[in-house]
Amino acid sequence: MKTTGFGPGAPCWAELSTKDPLAAKTFYHELFGWRTEAVPDEKAMGYTRLYVGEELVAGLVGLMQPDQPTAWNISFHAPDLDATAAAIADAGGTLIVPPMDALGWGRFTVARDPGGAVFSAWQPGTLRGCDLINEPGALGWVELATRDPKAAAVFYTRVFGWSVATGEMYTQFGLDGRDFGGMMDMADQFPAEVPPYWMPYFAVADVDLSSERAALLGATVTLPPTDVPDGPRLAVLRDPQGAVFGIHVAYPEN
């Protein structure tokens, strides 16, 4: 659906930092049909906005540090960024990038939660965030993989005021009665060297066809198309440069 704004704490932006921006633009254009538009300002350092038609859905940028991994990053809406940054620190998080301006588009901070997962908070300026959510090619769900789910639930509830619904196999995060994301216990499912992380899921019309196409384009299918109990059909992919993301059939509105 087309967004009219984001409530405090809601996921509002997905941004890919990649070692090969040109190859990434080609891959995601072929997979999702994203149209790319480079920001002409030299200060933007090649930042590219990604569109479904005329609707802005994500951003893409090259790596800024030699040791920075190729990865997707999730931003959460913060109407008062300084207050959110203080809440992150008070709750035991670490500010990697302190609150700073982004060319008048807004203000942001990059942080690490107590378990080690990296995320961002975004105070909108001229860029409010995504124009579409939960439609083919647009962000539809976000997921945290962590080794300490209890601590993560406490942290994000304190910082963003999320609701936490814990089931037998999965925990879901929500705001105002609507779930927007979930949390997975890494436990022994991941090698010890894999750090906790946030991952976006993008909605697609057909998970199986999209997975097949991604593989033909050079992606790795890390979780084949799967039906989730009481959830959508989904898959998890790693793009040719190494960034992990998911795809799913759009959730019905709740």
Is there a common fold for 11-124 and 139-249?
A: yes
Hey, what are 190's tokens? 């991941």
Hey, what are 123's tokens? 């105070």
pLDDT digits (tens, 9 = 90+) for 132-165: 999 999 999 999 999 999 999 999 999 999 999 9
**Cα separation of 99 and 90, whole Å?**
15
The domain spans of the chain are 11-124, 139-249
Query: What average pLDDT does the segment 27-54 reach?
Result: 88
Hey, what are 234's tokens? 């989904």
pLDDT digits (tens, 9 = 90+) for 44-100: 567 999 999 999 999 999 998 888 899 999 999 999 999 999 999 999 999 999 999
Given a cut of 80, is residue 176 above it in pLDDT? yes
pLDDT digits (tens, 9 = 90+) for 194-231: 899 999 999 999 999 999 999 999 999 999 999 988 78
Please provide the average confidence, as pLDDT, over all residues in the chain: 93
- What is the CATH architecture of 139-249? Roll (3.10)
Single pTM value for the model = 0.94
Given a cut of 60, is residue 254 above it in pLDDT? no
- What is the CATH architecture of 11-124? Roll (3.10)
Higher pLDDT, 190 or 32: 32
pLDDT digits (tens, 9 = 90+) for 94-107: 999 999 998 888 99
Q: Is 116 left (phi over 0), alpha (psi -120 to 50) or beta?
A: left
Could you give the C-alpha distances from 22 to 19, 37, 39, in angstroms and in order? 9, 12, 14
Could you give the C-alpha distances from 24 to 31, 141, 250, in angstroms and in order? 10, 21, 23
Given a cut of 60, is residue 128 above it in pLDDT? yes
